[in-house]
Structure 1
């Protein structure tokens, strides 16, 4: 029986890193940057006003007060994007909008709220030091500065930064395209009636959503029954559009474990028992160079297997560190027991109180009990050597996406 680390190491040694693509900026959202991006110009590229107000020479208003205001002639208006800005002589002022370039000779901005808002002349009743409400050229980013490193996942803020330095396209490792397929003749599509012995398919919906949460593009394939020929043809049909395939069901020791029957000896696919609960039966390999993860059919087993094995692999395919969800140390809120020699992932509720994490195990821990999984926000990791942990013990807890 393999350890969790051995099975994960085998997966990570086999999955390919996706080749970079040149994508338009918005198409690159959620992808991982494959190049360093530097600013060709400083940001801001010129001194500009941080407020709607009046550009002045600070010395002209040094003595201004409500009792003794300074009155200055207004010689013009300066708007954002104005290309005709020249200079401002001492003793004069110009109305200026937020983001508008500062005229040469001026060294401060008086906000409108400190004036009477005049258009021909303006009364200023408060002084301002040099540099007041001015955004200096390069105070955000200097020319030549690297603003995004390779390995950065591009979210809204990063996309904004790339646009701000003039990039319309960027080289990225794309989101992995992952096809998800549930097998089993007992499965029916949600929304259809059930006959005796049938259940609605939940795994493919759950795992497709998990792919999206992990930064991939999930494609749910309709369920297939236990006919080996149909399963084989369905898998082969998906190879053209998939960077990876996930199946659930049909990998254990039963007489109708069709995925194991179809894929044994095909490509590099191998099936193993892994020392974990839930999720003991696992399969993985390359099918025509496409990674295929064959997960157990019980829904909690499939979900835990995804977080432990598939999520790190999808990150590796994007050139990211192959990490599982974040773990934290927490104090157990109740006693737990675990079989010796396996790593147990128990569903639980993680809470933060006065700077300390506590975690309470869920009541239902069966691998078929999806209700306790949907109410959990964490997995309590009970290591192989632990058979009983009393309340108050510090344990590692894997935080689940919420």
Structure 2
């Protein structure tokens, strides 16, 4: 389980450059997502812009508003995210997202609140997919060929050649997913059944490796969102699901370029406050935490160079009463080169 110190350190690194900006932050087209099945991009996270994109979001929302009352429940939100944005959250976490968005105690959200969730959906939809990821390994089955024993094989014919595609049984799928994502995405193993339902999976059919890879990427994105939620909760001292200037100043104090005052904290909030209510809700906090493509710049601004030693990390955090354990530092520096980059930190956070 990832420690509070690691989450706090990750928040600091992600926040430093953005908190010193004097202007409202906007996400450029390079930061947009276009991972929905119909390739509909989020052109801008700020409210009230890009009418065509807004129309597409309304169409998708209405598609899952089963009774046409302008509201969707957690199960409808879960289906919408899975089928339209290739993202997954459990029903429990869908309920949490709704509660963190509407802030009125209801377990439903309307279209305006759904559009306000764009940063959350951006995290759930993003993937780091390599050119070869998800490819199915084919091999010719001939006399004397030894097949891998850890995966069952689906046999078929291709232009007269007998080939096999790697797949995994339902039991092995559940075991693998649970081992990798319990207490990170799933609170209980029965929640994996929600995945099967969304996939339209027949329990007698194996899961192909390409689908397994796709699902694991969804769950990694969901885990990243959960880590952001843990960071949000660390600063939400009064547990009202909003961050005030007084609460966010606890994060600003780690940024060496700005005096940790309530006034400066409010300026930072205003840069990410998309609904202009003077505080940060969870979706706006996620907006703040979304990392630009040149995120290494933030790390360099904080430490003066792109790579630092384990000692330098702890020397900096010692100023604020935080120390990472040797085990935590070793996991961030698996090559034992005593050289840690921002990407090493992010990779460690997202792997927990």
More helix by share: 2
More strand by share: 1
Whichever of the two has the greater Rg, that structure is 1
Same-fold call, TM > 0.5? no
Q: Relative contact order: is structure 1 or structure 2 higher (C-alpha 8 Å, sep ≥ 6)?
A: 2
Shorter chain as denominator, the TM-score bin is: under 0.3
After TM superposition, the score normalised by the length of structure 1 is 0.20
